[in-house]
Structure 1
Amino acid sequence: MDNHSIKVNYCSTGKVKPKSDELEFGRIFTDHMFIMDYSDSLGWHDARIIPYQPLLIDPSAMVFHYGQSVFEGLKAYHTPEGDAQLFRPKKNLERINRSNDRLCIPELDEEFALHAIKQLVGIDKDWIPKADGTSLYIRPFIISTEAYLGVAPSRHYQFIVILSPVGAYYKEGINPVKIAVENKYVRTVAGGTGEAKTGGNYAASLKAQELVANSGYAQVLWLDGVEREYIEEVGSMNVFFKINGEIVTPALNGSILKGVTRDSVIELLKHWDIPVVERKISMQELYDAHENGSLEEAFGAGTAAVISPIGQLTWNGDHIIINNAETGSVSKKLYDTLTGIQYGKQEDPFGWIEKVKAVSKVK
């Protein structure tokens, strides 16, 4: 597909933009959206940017019945110079194609998809909030749209991108959270869809999250689905532990999502010559490290929060307090550096940033 073959239909009247202190996550959406269709006969075609609106979709569309869908999440940031920029979007597009492969969804042209995202963000650039910590959340997703109730890969799809201005994740500063170790429910298993970013994984996580939230916990720490022994993720984030000066994160094993922030954290730690290793780590090993005083920090890493320090883990009735329930020095340095690069306040030595040009709305 030609990298410039996107039809644009501008909205006639723009919405009223919310104030920065009124923003919630994923509740408000911008003026425009991107859509592209797929059919077996035409491939991906009819790329267009249109006013944000409901989808017209058949009740028998396969996405409703068999869950054949994938999604991504990334952000656009407003810099001190007034520019708009994205953080490592190519990694998100590489990952959506890995998810596509697992869900039997046709591959996207990653270069064209990035062009489409940049054009959409450029059109709605004035929706990027400017207050500290705020950003424009970008949600690309693909759904199966064939009207058919047979259990088979769909022959029709839509690739859609929507945008949502979001508030600061930490309104009162970065603070450690309480996490419950989940022993009953599992998120996924190796060979399943855990390494794909598909809606069913998140639906499967809701029950455990709901139960621990009622007991005052922010999230759950997921263990592996076979032995219920090895640590995998925390909520919908990758997880890291500082043990005796070394940073440990669970190795990718087929059930753990390959996070863009995870990858960025590992690159930064290596850049700083801080020892970091990807390997299996059991809950018993973590408990023993706490008992002998070598467990120094713990944190989650993901797009929404960037870095989320963990102050307490509860496992089989035992409360594991980490770093006196205070934010550790590595967690804080990672958060400050990643957000500094994302918002254009710090040098980007890795080439992670993609600039976005504003698009003049000539109707």
Structure 2
Amino acid sequence: MVQSIDIQLTTKKKEKPPAKNLQFGVHFTDHMFMLDYHVDKGWHTPRIMPYQPITLDPAAKVFHYGQTIFEGLKAYKTEDGRVLLFRPDKNIERLNRSNERLSIPHLDGELVLAALQQLVAVDQDWIPSEPGTSLYIRPYVIATQPCLGVAPSTEYKFMIIMSPVGAYYAEGVKPVKIFVESEYVRAVRGGVGEAKTAGNYAAGLKAQEEAKEQGYSQVLWLDGVHLKYIEEVGSMNVFFKINGTVVTPALNGSILDGITRNSVLHLLRAWNIPVEERTISIDEIVEAAKNGQLEEAFGTGTAAVISPIGELNYHGEKLIIHEGQTGELSTKLYDTVTGIQNGVLADPFGWMVDTTAASTASK
């Protein structure tokens, strides 16, 4: 039986920002969800409460040993007023895989889904309805035991916060320029690359900073052993269309199993487009670009959905992809995924979870 979730509503609602001023992860809704863990009690006391600061002991293990994981998903409001979540089951599955890798106790998936649905229902007025906008949802776990011993924590907090976000591409989908990183590495097989943990993102900041200084939006990560095989682009999975076949790096233990990646693979196969999950070397991509067979490249992720790549810089050599323009496949994928997410297109895969009933009950 799923634990009952206590709900404490705020008495001081915030002023909502205009949709035209929405930025990613800057404004937060009126409420948050919290769940505590203690080794002697398990996960307990689920509650929705007013959004507020939290107090932690300076010795809390999250500060010293990085024992933390997070997820990211979105809620959408359709033209007919329905409230939809995009594949929350996949996020919950990955949340627990990350927990396993970081030695964090397993969370009850039914409770997490109920918390997501009820929190969205409570703050449903924060879901923007303008084209391209959504409510970003950030579930996460932190280790809170006040102890400096290097061992898994005996205490944790699981929380969910939410933020209304604007259209990622305010002026239409635009290709980005990417710097191929050949010095720094993001992760290695056997490490925590396949987990959604803070350290993976901290490891990428330096390379990203240096790439931006050279005029590039992000970096293309190569493997941490040979600096030869492609892994991810920034914090996104990456795809290449080569001579009619779409290829993407196979999940190998250092690559995140992206929900958008998984969705794109489903769509490509449903459209009978040849697709391969395999090892891809940067040399193969360079050769394909030079002989005219590299037709498109794009990243996939929750924030942008599809991010076309118009240029790669590898050791100072600039490789222009699809004349620096957004390709037909990238456009079709973006329009299809976002169309399903917003309830404009049919959902043949059963990806969307309708939370309208929960939202109506909360009024």
What TM-score do the two structures reach when normalised by structure 2? 0.98
Whether contact under 8 Å (1:123, 1:360) holds in the other structure is no
CA distance in 2, matches of 1:23, 1:215: 28
Q: Tell me the amino acid that sits aligned with residue 272 of structure 1.
A: W
Q: CA deviation at 1:283?
A: 0.4
- Give the superposition deviation at 1:271: 0.3
Match of 1:328 in 2: 327
What is the count of residue pairs matched by the alignment? 361
Structure 2 residue identity aligned to 1:136:
L
Tell me the alpha carbon deviations over residues 189-226 of structure 1, each in whole angstroms, 9 at most, x when there is no partner.
Answer: 00000000000000000000000111110000000000
Distance 2:102 2:212 in 1: 31
Are the aligned partners of 1:129 and 1:165 in contact in 2 as well (CA < 8 Å)?
yes
| Letter aligned with residue 56 of structure 2 | I
SS of the aligned residue for 1:44 comes to: strand
Closer/same/farther in 2, CA of residues 75 and 262 from structure 1, 3 Å limit: same
Determine the C-alpha separation between the residues in 1 that align with 2:316 and 2:39: 54
Deviations 1:228-282 (A, max 9, x none): 0000000000000000000000000000000000000000000000001000000
Q: Percent identity?
A: 61
Task: Tell me, in whole angstroms, the C-alpha distance in 1 between the residues paired with 2:360 and 2:144.
Answer: 31
1:354 maps to amino acid: V
Separation (CA, whole Å) in 1 of partners of 2:2 and 2:100: 23
Show the counterpart of 2:182: 183
CA distance in 2, matches of 1:216, 1:272: 36
Query: For residues 26 and 267 of structure 1, what CA distance do their matches in structure 2 show?
Result: 29
Whether 2:117 is the aligned partner of 1:94: answer: no
Residue 360 of structure 1, CA deviation: 5.2
Deviation beyond 2 Å, 4+ runs, structure 1: 359-362
What is the aligned partner in structure 1 of residue 197 from structure 2? 198
**CA RMSD, 1 decimal:** 0.9
Whether the 8 Å CA contact 1:270–1:276 is kept in 2: the answer is yes
2-structure distance, mates of 1:205, 1:227: 18
Residues in 2 aligned to 1:37 and 1:100: alpha-carbon distance in whole angstroms: 15
Displacement after TM superposition at 1:34 (Å) = 0.2
Aligned match of 1:249: 248
Which is further off, 214-223 or 352-361?
Answer: 352-361
Equivalent in the alignment of 2:74: 75
- Give structure 1 stretches of 5+ with no counterpart: none
Unpaired runs of 5+ residues, structure 2, are none
The alpha carbon displacement at 1:361 in A equals 5.4
C-alpha distance in 2, partners of 1:108/1:301?
27
Counterpart in the other structure of 2:316 = 317
Contact residue 33 and residue 119 of structure 2 kept, 8 A: yes
- CA offset at residue 3 of structure 1? 2.3
Q: Following TM superposition, by how much is the alpha carbon of 1:359 offset from its aligned partner in structure 2, in angstroms?
A: 5.3
> Do the aligned partners of 2:313 and 2:319 also contact (CA within 8 Å) in 1?
yes
Q: Secondary structure at the match of 1:268?
A: helix
CA distance in 1, matches of 2:322, 2:289: 10
CA deviations over 1:95-115 (Å, ceiling 9, x no partner): 010000000000011111001
Measure how far apart 1:56 and its partner are.
Answer: 1.3
2:63 corresponds to which residue? 64
Q: Work out the CA distance in 1 between the residues paired with 2:26 and 2:257.
A: 26
Verify the 8 A CA contact 2:121 2:362 in the aligned structure 1.
Answer: no
